[in-house]
A = this chain, B = another copy of it.
Amino acid sequence: MKTIKSKFDTFRHQTNIVIYGTNTASGRLFDLVLLGIIVLSVIIVMLETVKGFDKKYHHELIILEWIITIFFTLEYILRIISLKKPLKYIFSFYGIIDLIATLPMYLSLFYFGTSILTIVRALRLLRLFKILKHPQFSSQSNHLKEALIASRGKILIFIYFMLISSIVIGSLMYVVEGKEGGFTSIPISIYWTIVTLTTVGYGDISPITPLGQGIASLVMIMGYGIIAVPTGIVTAEFANNNRKKTNAKNSNPCPNCGTEGHEYNAKYCYHCGADLK
C-alpha cells in the first residue's frame, strides 16, 4: 500500500513540476505546447462559423475539437490531482476559466448550438501572462496595472459625465432631428451620441437637418477635445510612476538604519539623523 501511495506522490510531484513549473525544460515545453493548443482551439471555433470553410471541413473540425476538448479535460484533471490543496485552484480565476473551456463541448451533446460557447477558450490565452515570468516583463505589466488602478477614480467620474452628456444630447437630437435621419427613439439617439462622441462615426445614423448638423458638430468637437481627459489622467500616472522609480534609483540606503529614498543631495538620514557618508 505504501509503495502505491508513494508512487502516486512521486507522480503528483512530477506532474506538478511539469504543469505548474516554469524553470525546468519539461515545464517550459508543456507551457508552450499548451499555448499552441489554445491558439489552435480558438482558430478552430472561428473557422466553424465561416460558412464556406465549415461546409468543406465540417467533419475534420469536429474531430479536432473533440481531441482538444479531451486534452483540456485531462489537463484539468491533472491540474487538480497534482495539487495537495486543489480547492484554491478550482475556485481561482484561471481555474474557473479552465473548467468552462471544456464544458460547452460536452453540453453540445445534449443541447444543440452550445459548442459556440467554446470561444471562451480565448480567455485561456491570458495564461501567457503566467508563462512569461521574466522579471523585466512582469515589472512592465505591474507598471501598467498600477497606473490604471491609480487613475481608476478619475476615469469613473469621467465616464459618468460622458453617460449623462450622452443622455441629454441624445434626447436633444431626438427632438431636433425627428425620424428621417434615423433618430427613431431616445435610446437610438443616445447610441448615435456615443458613436459620435467617441469619434467612431459609423454613419448608419447621421443628422440631416441644419440644426442637427450644427449640434452634431459641437458634439464632435467635444468628443475630440475630451479624449484629452482620460489620456491626461493615465499619462500623468505613468509619468508619476516613472518619476518615483527614477527618484528611488538615486538613493543609497542609510548605513545606520537602512532607510531608502533619500534626496539626491542629502547629507543626513531623514529617518535616524545618521551621517549618510
Chain A positions within 8 Å of B, measured between CB atoms, are 42, 45-46, 49-51, 116, 119-120, 122-123, 125-126, 128, 136-137, 140-141, 143-144, 147-148, 153-155, 157-160, 162, 164, 167-168, 171, 174-175, 184-188, 190-191, 194-204, 206, 210, 213-214, 216-217, 220-221, 223-225, 227-243, 246, 259-273, 275-276
| Cα–Cα, bound, A148→B232 (Å) | 10
Task: Check B232 against A168 for contact (C-beta < 8 Å).
Answer: no
Asked whether, in the complex, the Cβ of A232 is within 8 Å of the Cβ of B229, the reply is no
* Chain B residues positioned under 8 Å from A50 (CB to CB): 185-187
Is the pair B198, A223 in contact by a Cβ cutoff of 8 Å?
yes
> Which of B51, B203, B239, B265 is in CB contact (< 8 Å) with A236?
B239
* Residues from chain B with Cβ under 8 Å of A197 in the complex: 224
A167 CA to B198 CA in the complex, in Å? 21
Copies of this protein chain in the complex: 4
Assembled-state Cα–Cα distance A140/B155 (Å): 10
B267 touches A268 (CB 8 A): no
